Structure 1
Amino acid sequence: MGPTVYVINGPNLNLLGSREPDTYGRATLADVEALCREACERHGFGLDFRQSNHEGDLVSWIQEAGASGAVGVVLNAAAYTHTSIALLDAVAAVAVPVIEVHITNVHAREPFRRTSYLSKAAKGVICGFGPLGYALAIAGLAGLQTQGDRS
């Protein structure tokens, strides 16, 4: 197994498939994990896939990814995207690229969802592609590694 990609999911993503399926779709978090595992295998990466409803867990995991020399982090911070300076600080503090991912197009939704604290420090942002956005983020990390860009 090659270097590891951390995929970190925030609050309520454990309810994917049953929570507001007209908005978030019917794919479950287990489906998203399988998609990520397949994408990581295609690029020769290991996968560390996690979800928590607790902000501090997400901060600790981002720091862990940075300390471990991970390929990078795919982060769907969910509602914390719009509220968490602590997550912004964690993303800014690590020396690995963090790709912010959202299942929906947050810019086409409620005005408060258009503000992301994380975008200020994230290497890139992917939104609106459903679960496919995770695989796109992993492909992006692979491209960055090929180019030698790990910031």
Structure 2
Amino acid sequence: MKKVLMLHGINHNMFGKRDPVQYGTITLKEIDAKMQELARELDVEVISYQTNHEGEMCERIHEAFLENIDAIVINAGAWTHYSYGIRDALAIFTGPIVEIHMSNIHAREEFRHHSVFAEIVKGQICGFGLESYLLGLRAAVAALEEAKK
């Protein structure tokens, strides 16, 4: 069974409490439950991980490489816009990487318009709330299927 690592970034443990205009009221636990539900439908395993510590995020990405995780879906939050450390860790990973965001980062503050991951990810999905996560998982699985051909 293919394994997809779902990486949740900084402040995502506060979903449901944090800025409901941008992020709605869904909690991280509810997001992970929806991801697990879709994973069963797609016949993949999703492993979820959240941290507020940049170095720990890099370490988890390194572990994913060593564990032969097949794909990564990442919502790095604010790290998306400036963390070259996470970008470099992601660049080591050899499977498809899908970048997602609950809010439309291009319709927000100027600093959020740029992703330092953009050049190394398979694609980006933003602005669809919970659906961004589900679309991201579908995109990662599709990329794995395409790679088999």
Q: TM-score, normalised by structure 1?
A: 0.94
Partner-residue secondary structure (3-state), 2:115? coil
Deviation at 1:92, TM superposition (A): 1.1
Contact 1:88 1:120 in 2 (8 A): no
Partner-residue secondary structure (3-state), 1:53? coil
Deviation at 1:3, TM superposition (A): 2.0
Partner-residue secondary structure (3-state), 2:65? helix
| Equivalent position of 2:12 in the other structure | 13
Partner-residue secondary structure (3-state), 1:11? coil
> What is the CA RMSD across the aligned residues, in angstroms?
1.3
Partner-residue secondary structure (3-state), 1:112? helix
Unaligned runs of 5+ residues in structure 1 are none
**Rounded Cα–Cα distance in structure 1 between residues aligned with 2:108 and 2:44:** 33
Contact 1:98 1:122 in 2 (8 A): yes
Paired amino acid for 2:143: L
Unaligned runs of 5+ residues in structure 2 are none
Partner-residue secondary structure (3-state), 1:60? helix
Deviation at 1:123, TM superposition (A): 1.1
| Equivalent position of 1:132 in the other structure | 131
Partner-residue secondary structure (3-state), 2:103? coil
**Rounded Cα–Cα distance in structure 2 between residues aligned with 1:66 and 1:134:** 21
Q: TM-score, normalised by structure 2?
A: 0.95
Identical amino acids, percent of aligned pairs: 34
Paired amino acid for 2:144: Q
